[in-house]
Amino acid sequence: MTPVPTGPDGRPGSAAHTGDATGSGATTVTAVDGTAAWELLLPAASAPARTRGRALQAALREAVRSGRLAPGTRLPSSRDLAADLGVSRGLITEAYEQLTAEGYLRSGRGAGTWVGDAVRAARPRARDLAPRSGSDRAGFVPGTPDLSLFPRSAWGAAQRSVLAELPHEALGYPDPRGLPRLRTALAELLTRRRGVVADPERLVVVSGVAQATALLASVLHARGVRTAGVESPGSPQHDALYASAGVATVPLPLDDEGLALGPLHASGVRAVVTTPAHQFPTGIAYSARRRAALLDWARSVDGLVLEDDYDGDFRYDRAPVGALQGLDPERVAYTGSVSKSLAPGLRLGWLLVPEWLADDVVERKRTTDLGHPALDQALLARFVERGEYDRQLRLCQRAYRERRDVLVAALAEHFPGSRVSGIAAGLHAIATLPERYGPEERFLARVAEAGVAVRSLAQYGHGASGAEGAKRMVRLVLGYAHLTPGRIRAGVERMAKAV
């Protein structure tokens, strides 16, 4: 590292330049990643003469904004930098003056130009931007499909066709419910695949289950609802989304068949959020009896069930159980998205609402964002209409079933005696390890030290201590869909070695 000079106010800089503004032959100023300052500007220096000045300013601004040139770094003299870049000195002087006026740079009392620190606070730390998945640290954390299975070429082809065929009018503000073409395609798809009662008039295109939940929560709040039941253990998303609408969540325990009826009846709530196809995170599928009882409860309290069908498309050993909504569309609001089947980054989903809530939900959607992006909607419509979406589901289904089997086999080999449940469907499984691997806290600490990220079932609870012995028992929620078979085996082996 080159010595650290001080800035005009005596504060240390992070890179070195010993020249003054008049230029006296100097050591190289380096960016924080070791690149010479002039190298950062080289591409801009070779821009056409007409735009070179602006290009240099933009490159310098970006180097400061991104943090590559750290606050306090003294810049080369205009003469040196101009010579290094082979541009006129006037361009550099101009760039320094412009960026000083904007606050990116500051000039000293005597001579010299330094990187200012005005942008420091606005600059996110690299750590904050680090991807949360794809790295080794992601381990078995559930919630993400295999993003490498995204059908890029088919999606790209659909994009080109949609752009070519879309009439100009379709680029105006869309119907807040969504494009009629997509609502029709989704209604057909959901009726066929999930057994829902889907009227395109009652289907609202949303940016995912998250938005569907938030819309519904705020509509319920406007109607005076202040509490809603959630499954416990359950998705923290549900709590957060309801809380943001001013609705407090009441954790309701589960038994082997689904939401336990006694606590549900005793809770006094009239709205409840459920994941009946593959409960998140326990993986249980609600029994037929419990589904019927849940609907009886909803009718008896004149209430509403929100059915979050977050991974209902993936069922491995027998035909999928139809959605709860099909049994009583006036008591169930049904929501799902392409987050598990295509990619969560697309932010596309749907909400089927009972008639008595439809106008309020559509109005809320309109005031929230004036409708969902039209191009994305047209693209998904085409994808569904042409059978590409079904093809994608089949491809994922095959891949995820294989991964599930690999996970089960690896657990049997490396953690003999463990019980794996919740594997009939979905993208994650629950592994209950024999007591000798506990207590859970120690297990999790050791596995984390070994660099494998895992979640325990207890982390999805609502603070209740659970059954006796539960603390000693290790119960893991293992997401497997995003991992290749090789990484699943390696991850399980690494956990076993760590403990």
Ligand X SMILES: Cc1ncc(COP(=O)(O)O)c(C=O)c1O
Q: Interface with ligand X by CB under 6 A: which residues?
A: 143, 208-210, 235, 237, 275, 280, 308, 310, 337, 339, 344, 349
30 or 282: whose CB is closer to ligand X? 282
**Are the C-beta atoms of residues 326 and 195 closer than 8 Å to each other?**
yes
Residue nearest to ligand X (CB): 208
* Cβ neighbours around 68 below 10 Å, total: 17
What's 474's DSSP letter?
A: E
258 or 349: whose CB is closer to ligand X? 349
17 or 194: whose CB is closer to ligand X? 194
CB of 442 vs ligand X, minimal distance in Å? 27
139 or 349: whose CB is closer to ligand X? 349
Three-state DSSP state, 59: helix
Would you list the DSSP string of 437-457?
A: G--HHHHHHHHHHTT---EEG
CB of 210 vs ligand X, minimal distance in Å? 3
Rounded to whole angstroms, how far apart are CA atoms 252 and 229? 6
- Helix (H) or strand (E) holding 81, with range, is helix 78-85
CB of 336 vs ligand X, minimal distance in Å? 7
29 or 324: whose CB is closer to ligand X? 324
73 or 235: whose CB is closer to ligand X? 235
CB of 275 vs ligand X, minimal distance in Å? 6
What's 306's DSSP letter?
A: E
Q: For tokens 């709860």, what's the residue?
A: 324
CB of 481 vs ligand X, minimal distance in Å? 11
44 or 338: whose CB is closer to ligand X? 338
CB of 205 vs ligand X, minimal distance in Å? 12
**Are the C-beta atoms of residues 316 and 423 closer than 8 Å to each other?**
yes
79 or 404: whose CB is closer to ligand X? 404
60's CB contacts (< 8 A; 6+ apart) are 40, 41, 69, 95, 99, 104, 105
**Are the C-beta atoms of residues 350 and 212 closer than 8 Å to each other?**
yes
CB of 260 vs ligand X, minimal distance in Å? 19
Rounded to whole angstroms, how far apart are CA atoms 430 and 311? 15
210 or 444: whose CB is closer to ligand X? 210
CB of 335 vs ligand X, minimal distance in Å? 8
Distances (CA, A) of 330 to 196, 317, 336, 352, 484: 12, 31, 17, 10, 41
What's at 70, amino acid-wise? A
CB of 237 vs ligand X, minimal distance in Å? 5
CB of 274 vs ligand X, minimal distance in Å? 10
Structure tokens at 35: 């690149």
77 or 282: whose CB is closer to ligand X? 282
**Are the C-beta atoms of residues 58 and 112 closer than 8 Å to each other?**
no
Residues β-bridged to residue 455: 477
In this structure, are strands 455-456 and 474-479 parallel, antiparallel, or unpaired? antiparallel
Distances (CA, A) of 56 to 96, 345, 352, 359: 10, 34, 53, 53
What's 333's DSSP letter?
A: E
**Cis before 233? omega within 30:** yes
CB of 234 vs ligand X, minimal distance in Å? 7
85 or 247: whose CB is closer to ligand X? 247
CB of 158 vs ligand X, minimal distance in Å? 21
231's CB contacts (< 8 A; 6+ apart) are 238, 251, 252, 254, 259, 273, 274, 275, 279, 280
114 or 389: whose CB is closer to ligand X? 389
What's 16's DSSP letter?
A: -
Rounded to whole angstroms, how far apart are CA atoms 56 and 94? 10
